[in-house]
Amino acid sequence: MQYKAEIHVTLKRTVNDPQGLAIRGGLHSLGYETVETVRAGKFIEVWLEAESSEEAERQAEQMSDQLLANPVIEDYTVSVTEASNAI
Amino acid sequence: MQYKAEIHVTLKRTVNDPQGLAIRGGLHSLGYETVETVRAGKFIEVWLEAESSEEAERQAEQMSDQLLANPVIEDYTVSVTEASNAI
């Protein structure tokens, strides 16, 4: 069965986020004065073959630990759905 | 009222994604042979003041059009929720 894992990688709340600050600055320059905070993260979609949804989720979490996220400064969340076919 | 807009920016399906290909290569090297496709995108969280959820969503869409996404090669989705306080 093919599954799609959606992985959000975000900086831990205590870690400084220069990209988010730069985006906030840009939005303020464009007139969006009501913007208070911006945090920038990554969104990674992985299509994979697995025997079950649980197995796909376990693999996606392992991938995040090993490659996709830096556990020292980043958090991640994994959400798995069935996928009819890859793009 | 304070709202949090979650914005996903992804490359259009027809656009080549070198970052996604590099991640797929890395995952294969680590032994994740079942991975078929990887797409890499951005996940941007924006905390903003607005009078209603609809107004917050309208603003977040405008920000995406103007700054956060490149409409030539990227798609985006916006999802707004009430936020008790910024981080």
* Interchain contact B47–A (C-beta under 8 A): yes
Tell whether A40 is covered by a domain.
Answer: yes
Question: ipTM score of the complex?
Answer: 0.91
Question: How many domains, chain A?
Answer: 1
Where do we find the tokens 């320059």? A29
Q: Which residues in chain A are contacts of B68 at CB distance < 8 A?
A: 23
Domain that holds residue A6: 2-82
Dist CA A72 CA A12 (whole Å) = 9
CATH number at residue B54: 3.30.1280.10
Tell whether B87 is covered by a domain.
Answer: no
* Interchain contact B25–A (C-beta under 8 A): no
Q: What is the pLDDT of residues A49-69, one digit of tens each?
A: 999 999 999 999 999 999 999
User: Amino acid letter at B87?
Assistant: I
- What is residue B54's predicted lDDT score, i.e. its pLDDT? 97
Q: Among residues B28, B41, B27, which one has the least CA distance to residue B69? A: B41
Q: Among residues B7, B10, B77, B76, which one has the least CA distance to residue B48? A: B7
Dist CA B63 CA B42 (whole Å) = 14
Tell whether A87 is covered by a domain.
Answer: no
For chain B, give the mean pLDDT.
Answer: 95
* Interchain contact A23–B (C-beta under 8 A): yes
Q: What is the pLDDT of residues B24-63, one digit of tens each?
A: 999 999 999 999 999 999 999 999 999 999 999 999 999 9
